[in-house]
Amino acid sequence: MDDGFLDRLSAGEVLVADGATGTSYQQMGLPIGVAPEEWVEDHPEHVVGVHRAFIEAGSEIILTDTFGGTPIRLRETRFAGRASELNRHAAQLARQAADGTRVLVAGAMGPTGMLMEPLGDLTTSAAADAYAEQAAGLTEGGVDLLLLETFFALEEALAAIDGIRRVTTLPLVVSFSIDQGTRTMMGLSPTTMLNAVAPLGVAAIGANCGRSLDDMEKVVDELASVKAGIPLWIKPNAGLPRMDGDVARYDTTPGTMAAFAERFLTAGARIVGGCCGSSPAHVAAIAAAAEYHRAGAGGRHRVRG
């Protein structure tokens, strides 16, 4: 069997993604307010360690520590002018952790934090240029696929896709944060998002982060009901955080995450994992649910349109 992302999806595999990067780093001492990308340079051993912890828990896809790695988000940091270098290095650290396994490395790319015109100052061309630069660095670092995640505005996602396509032909996944019930903070519905993005040749579409597992289940059901014939990527939070001093705590148990993961897979998801608050224990439970789902499909991976 070919180990590429598209080949594994075509073969009908159900894949398990990793859990939370930032939350995991905070448990290891990353101060509140410090961007996780800082550790790519300052503590690469911790970055590799978190990747390996998720791999040991059963992750078949790990995300690079580059969620905030666009040159736009980095311009007020010490990485200003060094976006390509940072993204390349982060990809290499993930590759190091995955060495000798079938684990895939996804280059994580989050929103710029700016609003697009006419609501804000970010132009389509500036956004496309930023994502092109980030995608080039991740590609040079050796990622297997690229992931646009936690998007809430369709216009920014479309600009990002355009920029990425200028520099690489790697498989691309697009995931929105639908955190207002079944809408993004900009009012975008799962159906509208899917219908706009699916025709653009992306490898998978889905949702991450979000407000609750119950809401995410409604999102999965809506995405699956469109029957677009495209794999669904689902990566919810482990509930909402509560602050314990300077540390964010998430109370959703691994067992609860696993139960919902099985429901997501039954509804039609093909890639499942965890977002904020999801520890290796949560991922291990999700991986067990995925294995149970595979066994329930007669020992074969289920494929749903």
Q: Lowest-pLDDT range, 15-19, 36-40, 156-160, 179-183?
A: 179-183
Q: Lowest-pLDDT range, 48-57, 88-97, 138-147, 235-244?
A: 235-244
Question: What is the chain's mean pLDDT, rounded?
Answer: 93
Q: How far apart are CA 196 and CA 159, in angstroms?
A: 12
State residue 298's pLDDT score.
Answer: 41
Residue 89: pLDDT band (50, 70, 90) is very high
105 is written with which tokens? 């490395």
H or E element at residue 281: helix 280-296
Q: How far apart are CA 48 and CA 272, in angstroms?
A: 21
Q: How far apart are CA 292 and CA 287, in angstroms?
A: 9
Residue 251 has pLDDT above 90, yes or no: no
Can you tell me the mean pLDDT for 214-237? 95
State residue 301's pLDDT score.
Answer: 39
Can you tell me the mean pLDDT for 88-99? 98
293 is written with which tokens? 């789902």
Residue 297 has pLDDT above 70, yes or no: no
State residue 226's pLDDT score.
Answer: 93
Residue 1: pLDDT band (50, 70, 90) is very low
Percent of the chain with pLDDT over 70: 96
The single-letter code of the amino acid at 303 is V
Residue 305: pLDDT band (50, 70, 90) is very low
Residue 244 has pLDDT above 90, yes or no: no
State residue 228's pLDDT score.
Answer: 86
Decide: residue 168, CB within 10 A, 0-12 exposed, 13-18 middle, 19+ buried: middle
- 5-296, what's its fold? TIM Barrel (3.20.20)
C-beta separation of 277 from 239 below 8 A: yes
Q: How far apart are CA 9 and CA 186, in angstroms?
A: 31
State residue 242's pLDDT score.
Answer: 77
Residues 57-76 pLDDT 10s = 999 999 999 999 999 999 98
The more confidently predicted of residues 40 and 29 is: 40
Query: Could you tell me the residue ranges of all domains in the chain?
Result: 5-296
Alpha-carbon distances, residue 109 vs 121, 150, 174 (angstroms): 20, 9, 10
Q: Quickly list DSSP for 290-305.
A: HHHHHHHTTTS-----
